Structure 1
Amino acid sequence: MVQRIIGLASGMDIDSMVKQLMTAERVPLDKMKQKKQILEWQRDDYRTLNSLLLDFQNNTLFNMKLSTQFRVRNVVSSNDNYVTASASGSASLSSTTIQNVSKLATAATKINSGSISGTSKIDITKSLETQNFAGGEIDWQVGSVKSQSITAKATNTAKIDLKGETLNLDPKYMNIEVNGKRYDVITSGASDLTDNNVLVDSEGNLTFKNNLTAGNVIKVDYTTTENITKQTVKKDATEMQLNLGSNSLVSIKIGSTVYKLSGNALIDENDDTNILGGIDNTGKITFSAPLEEDTTFEIHSTEKYAAFNIQTFTTNNQQQSKTFLFRGSDSLNNVINQVNNSKVGVTMFYDSFKDQVTMTRTETGDFNTDTSGPSNGSEIITDNSVFLKNILKFDENSQEIGGTNATFTINGLETQRNSNTFTINGVTYTLKQVFNVPDPNNSGGVLNPVNPVTLSISNDIDTVFNNIKSFVDKYNTLIDTINKKLTEERYRDYQPLTDDQREQLSDKQQEQWEEKAKSGLLKGDSILSSALTQMRTLLYQPIQNSSVSSKYSQLAQIGITTSPNFLDGGKLVIDEAKLKKALTDDPSSVEKMFTATGDSTSSQGLAQRLSKAVSTVMNQVKDKAGSATSTNKQFSIGKSLDNLATQILDFNNRLTQIENRYYSQFTAMEKAIQQANSQGTYVQQMFSSGR
């Protein structure tokens, strides 16, 4: 680094002089930076247009390839008080007649046999073990209720992590599901495995008949003989707090020593004189003596629990069931929510006024057609658990109503459906009332006598018209944006601002300057000009495809033409009457004009043609300006930017050398002046002394 001396001898402002000299030297650097800024703005303009092209392709053109855009059906019912309908694009243009509806579909409801409260009214928000039920006591089990989710591997086995606890193998206290499908539990007989059950052993091993799909979730609800947790307490502690919740403490194990509860004391089961301490009703243990070292306590506790099972049926008489585990600390409300949030397809409800419980299927229809079996055709099957049979009174005296299919006559054929809303051949019908059937309360009479209900299906011309209009609007917006960029004025006198220029302008002035500096960077661009020409050509060429009538093979034939106004830059305009007439006369040809596919451009519909053209343009723009994830080496503007960055770096190094040279020269001058001044002073002193 050159040592700098600032004008002490000459009295000159050396820094200011060097700065002025360097201003001239920096002119080429400023021009390089301006060129770099212009390239960056140009790159950003290209990318903005590519985003518009991508949106046009992925949304507008993608939609116009779909037949659903053109096959929009309108359904008119001759009597929508009784039957309504809607239709998908696959529905044929026809009419359907429903002569009568003799029965509406209903959901099965199971009503218990009576009040469930005992001598005092139950509170469904309080714990079940504190409630007084008319059916007596719940058959509480003692242990611990657990739930675990296991991620399946591509094998037929899995394992419950028991954490040292002992599994209760009774199947009625276990529920296993894989991705929502329930498996019945068996505890012996691997040869008896089927697609619908799972073998469970005392170690928690699960064995299925077939390999599971890796990543599937195995949900296991189960019980153990007790709950085991561990808690570490520091040396010298005199007490500890147990977090038992609703559990009851059974024992505490330290190493191999087991302390069991005797009254309020924890006593060594093998030595009555060895007392760990006392415990109060909050779970706080006060030790007999301070702990001599950090100690890990293994805490064994239990809780009350019970279980019940509900079974329903789905389409094709398929069974679905669920075992519900609940604790003594749970409320009836908790149990109801557990049922209602399950996939068994039942909604449980308690009415405090009647003090009764009901269960209603979440689906209408008659799914259990086996009227001769044990279920006797019941839609909701409850097990013989004490909780359901005795406590909630879903016993032999409970009643099931509903669970019927809709029965009706359509085009002369009597048929049934599980729901009052159903789909036949792309038409979704909704039955609202029974009609034209014998009146059960009037011998020889007819219930709701009306003319048969006719449902007429036609094209929804207005919606299809609007879909095509939306395409035209989006196309016009796109080419208008491109045209503006192609014709935008270029203000060459407004170059990007240098740092020095920015310091002299206000924020508003800088903004106004940059607006002009950014203008016209894509003016006359060959890629974009070619894209517009290509898209216009593709739109005007006739579609030569056997699925398209020659009468409607060009846009002009359906009323879509180029605007006669030159300033519109090739925008499309629609003759509404002509387009709607084409949609009425030959909707299929209009559809295929847009959606047809083919190997050659001439056989392709407009959507496929434009999509390919847009892809070509986007690739060309990407080669020129890259994308947000591109590196500079992957596109031409980026390469130019890298080249400029190298030039700027080299030129900055050169400027540093020039600046150092100027300072070296001025330093030499200062030294020379200082030396001359010293000599002058010496001569003057010589004359003054008279020598």
Structure 2
Amino acid sequence: MASNMRIGGLASGMDIDQIVKDLMKVERMPLDKLKQKKQILEWQRDDYRSMNTLLQDLDNYIFNNLTLQSSMLKKKVTSSNDSVVSATASASAANVATSIQVQQIATSAIWLSDENTRVDKSNFSVENDVTLTFTVTNGDGSSKQATITIKQGATLDGVISQLNNDPNLGISAFYDEQTGRVSIMKKDTGEKASIVLEDQDTADFFAQKLGFIGAVAGAELTGKTDGKDAVFTINGLPTSRSSNTFTINGVTYTLKSTGSATITTSTDTDAMFNVIKGLVDKYNEIISKINAELKEERYRNYPPLTDEQKEAMTEKQIELWEEKARSGMLRGDSILSSGLSKMRMDLYTKVEGSNITIGFSQLAEIGITTSSNYLDGGKLIIDETKLRQKIQENPDAIYRLFNNDSTNYSEKGIARRLRDTIKDTIGKIEQKAGKTIWTNQQFAIGRDLIQINEQIDRFEDRLKEIEDRYWRQFTAMEKAIQRANEQSMYLMNAFFGGSQ
């Protein structure tokens, strides 16, 4: 619109400003329609993206809970004596009972400074930089080199901190002010642990600064109490480990004390049931929302409001109007309708193949059916008793029902089918409505918005020209009236001025 201030009607007495505004309202009507069309496209874009968010949530749930054995085939482990042994099990562990007798707990190797030599913290000093070099053997027999540089002026606390923080050394050291002694303990356990001082500088530092009298280059640190391996008998087989925590056949045991216990591993039917029930609930929630969008009424008599219309309404009126105006943006949408139909087929189609167990090839066979009420829009119903029975009967068969891998659709598990359909539907929606990180050129609605924005820009330029033209015409009229008024006044003065 023109930016110059204009004052009209001085000669004619007409409200030129209001007349121009009224004329421009008519001229602006096509522009308002363009802006309304733009708003509808933006609402459609946003609604499409909200549907994609729902579909992505379903896909994430399937991936995190149904496709992973660790989520789907959880094991329940119980110990008859948790103070002796506790255990956890991976999805691959067999459902068995294991007897275990613990004869010895694994312990860490410990080195103590000389009991007759007190380390004086207040007088501790490092006169020159010194590099300490070690060969460290862990409790399981694995070895590595460790090198630490102690800087001139380092304090005892600083030295202890450096020793503790070196990952290759793998120790926990501390200084006891009461006794004046230094304690070093390997963080891992096992009888093969050792720390060898590789050179004379290292031996001298430990002997002179840390109180390990008798430390010798090329030999193990003095003051050692050997670590121990865990010794136990499992199902009658005597064996040992360097650590109190170890894994055998998918079961991870943690030894706590000497004694006996029985470890029982079984399928966690509650975990699998909850995962499947979660899928049904998530699927029902999402198809309910998508069906609502597909059936939502489209109120074509409620177009988006213009800025001028909003100025004449209250906030509540605007809210109620726009609620109807943006209703039904995705009514009857073919992409969403096709996606729902395909997901229903994914769920109902029998899974075939040599890996599929008889009686575990369809959802109906494990207690999941479709609601008989057509108003539910294909929601799934669970027979909880039957599903629990089927899980208890053969959890591996249920896992394969959902996750059997094949390039052949008929042999592909239900979860894999659903993920393929969701991915395809999301892709089609993105081609139409894009996603937040895309530019408008990358999707169909965005390209339509670019065209409309260009049309709006051109139309606004045209409106400026039209308004300027109206003002020029009315200004010319005002000038003509002004001249007519001046001539009239001149004639009146000519005829009647002399007789006064």
Give the structure-2-normalised TM-score: 0.92
SS in 2 for 1:11: coil
Q: Map 1:75-474 to 2 at 5 A.
A: 75-98=77-100, 100-117=101-118, 122-123=120-121, 128-129=124-125, 140=127, 304-314=128-138, 317-343=141-167, 344-368=169-193, 379-382=194-197, 384=200, 385-396=203-214, 398-435=222-259, 453-474=261-282
Deviations 1:26-78 (A, max 9, x none): 11111110111010111011112112222322343353122222221112223
SS in 1 for 2:34: helix
Distance 2:452 2:315 in 1: 27
Q: Is the Cα contact below 8 Å between 2:7 and 2:17 reproduced in 1? A: no
Distance 2:83 2:114 in 1: 37
**1:505 and 2:313 matched:** yes
Distance 1:643 1:594 in 2: 46
**1:60 and 2:62 matched:** yes
Query: Residue 676 of structure 1: CA displacement?
Result: 1.5
* 1:267 counterpart residue number: none
* 2:219 counterpart residue number: none
Query: Residue 569 of structure 1: CA displacement?
Result: 2.2
Deviates more, 1:336-345 or 1:668-677: 668-677
Q: Is the Cα contact below 8 Å between 1:314 and 1:367 reproduced in 2? A: yes
Residues 564 and 17 of structure 1: CA distance in aligned 2, closer, same or farther (over 3 Å): same
SS in 1 for 2:298: coil
Distance 2:326 2:144 in 1: 67
Distance 1:392 1:644 in 2: 80
Distance 1:103 1:519 in 2: 72
SS in 1 for 2:187: strand
Distance 2:160 2:400 in 1: 55
Distance 1:386 1:633 in 2: 73
SS in 1 for 2:247: strand
Deviates more, 1:649-658 or 1:389-398: 389-398
* 2:218 counterpart residue number: none
Q: Give the aligned residue type for 1:21.
A: L
Q: Give the aligned residue type for 1:109.
A: I
SS in 2 for 1:627: coil
Query: Residue 671 of structure 1: CA displacement?
Result: 2.0
SS in 2 for 1:47: helix
Q: 1:542 aligns with which of 343, 350, 353?
A: 350
Distance 2:390 2:341 in 1: 27
Distance 1:331 1:647 in 2: 76
Residues 501 and 671 of structure 1: CA distance in aligned 2, closer, same or farther (over 3 Å): same
Q: Map 1:595-606 to 2 at 5 A.
A: 595-606=403-414
Query: Residue 690 of structure 1: CA displacement?
Result: 4.6
Q: Give the aligned residue type for 2:113.
A: N
SS in 2 for 1:494: coil
Distance 1:3 1:325 in 2: 80
SS in 2 for 1:56: helix
Distance 2:376 2:149 in 1: 72
Q: 1:38 aligns with which of 24, 36, 40?
A: 40
Q: Is the Cα contact below 8 Å between 2:139 and 2:188 reproduced in 1? A: no
Distance 1:554 1:389 in 2: 74
Q: Map 1:6-21 to 2 at 5 A.
A: 6-21=8-23
Q: How many residue pairs were aligned?
A: 487
Query: Residue 596 of structure 1: CA displacement?
Result: 0.7
Q: Give the aligned residue type for 2:196.
A: I
Query: Residue 686 of structure 1: CA displacement?
Result: 1.5
Q: Give the aligned residue type for 1:105.
A: A
Residues 664 and 307 of structure 1: CA distance in aligned 2, closer, same or farther (over 3 Å): closer
* Structure 2 unaligned residues grouped into runs of 5+: 216-221
Deviations 1:316-361 (A, max 9, x none): 6332232332234221011001100111111111112222111100
Residues 61 and 393 of structure 1: CA distance in aligned 2, closer, same or farther (over 3 Å): closer
Residues 388 and 657 of structure 1: CA distance in aligned 2, closer, same or farther (over 3 Å): same
Residues 127 and 501 of structure 1: CA distance in aligned 2, closer, same or farther (over 3 Å): farther
Distance 2:68 2:342 in 1: 23
Query: Residue 12 of structure 1: CA displacement?
Result: 0.9
Distance 1:32 1:609 in 2: 42
Distance 2:146 2:123 in 1: 22
SS in 1 for 2:109: strand
Query: Residue 500 of structure 1: CA displacement?
Result: 0.6
Q: Is the Cα contact below 8 Å between 2:136 and 2:146 reproduced in 1? A: no
* Structure 1 unaligned residues grouped into runs of 5+: 130-137, 141-303, 369-378, 436-451
Query: Residue 557 of structure 1: CA displacement?
Result: 1.0
SS in 2 for 1:665: helix
SS in 2 for 1:308: strand
**Which structure carries more helix by proportion?**
2
Distance 1:531 1:318 in 2: 56
Q: Is the Cα contact below 8 Å between 1:361 and 1:380 reproduced in 2? A: no
SS in 2 for 1:364: coil
**1:47 and 2:49 matched:** yes
Query: Residue 420 of structure 1: CA displacement?
Result: 1.0
Distance 2:68 2:142 in 1: 36
Query: Residue 517 of structure 1: CA displacement?
Result: 1.8
Residues 678 and 533 of structure 1: CA distance in aligned 2, closer, same or farther (over 3 Å): same
Q: 1:652 aligns with which of 446, 456, 460?
A: 460
Q: Give the aligned residue type for 1:389.
A: A
Query: Residue 315 of structure 1: CA displacement?
Result: 6.4
Q: Is the Cα contact below 8 Å between 1:3 and 1:664 reproduced in 2? A: no
Deviations 1:59-109 (A, max 9, x none): 4335312222222111222333322221101112222222x3221100011
Query: Residue 127 of structure 1: CA displacement?
Result: 6.8
Query: Residue 638 of structure 1: CA displacement?
Result: 1.5
Q: Give the aligned residue type for 2:136.
A: T
Q: Is the Cα contact below 8 Å between 1:84 and 1:431 reproduced in 2? A: yes
Distance 2:142 2:96 in 1: 35
Q: Give the aligned residue type for 2:345.
A: T
Q: Is the Cα contact below 8 Å between 2:140 and 2:190 reproduced in 1? A: no
Deviations 1:632-654 (A, max 9, x none): 23222122212212222222233
Q: 2:283 aligns with which of 460, 471, 475?
A: 475
**Which structure carries more strand by proportion?**
1
**Percent of aligned pairs with the same residue?**
45
Distance 2:395 2:6 in 1: 86
SS in 1 for 2:287: helix
**1:673 and 2:481 matched:** yes
Give the structure-1-normalised TM-score: 0.67
Query: Residue 4 of structure 1: CA displacement?
Result: 6.1
Residues 8 and 127 of structure 1: CA distance in aligned 2, closer, same or farther (over 3 Å): farther
Distance 1:644 1:628 in 2: 20
Q: Give the aligned residue type for 1:390.
A: Q
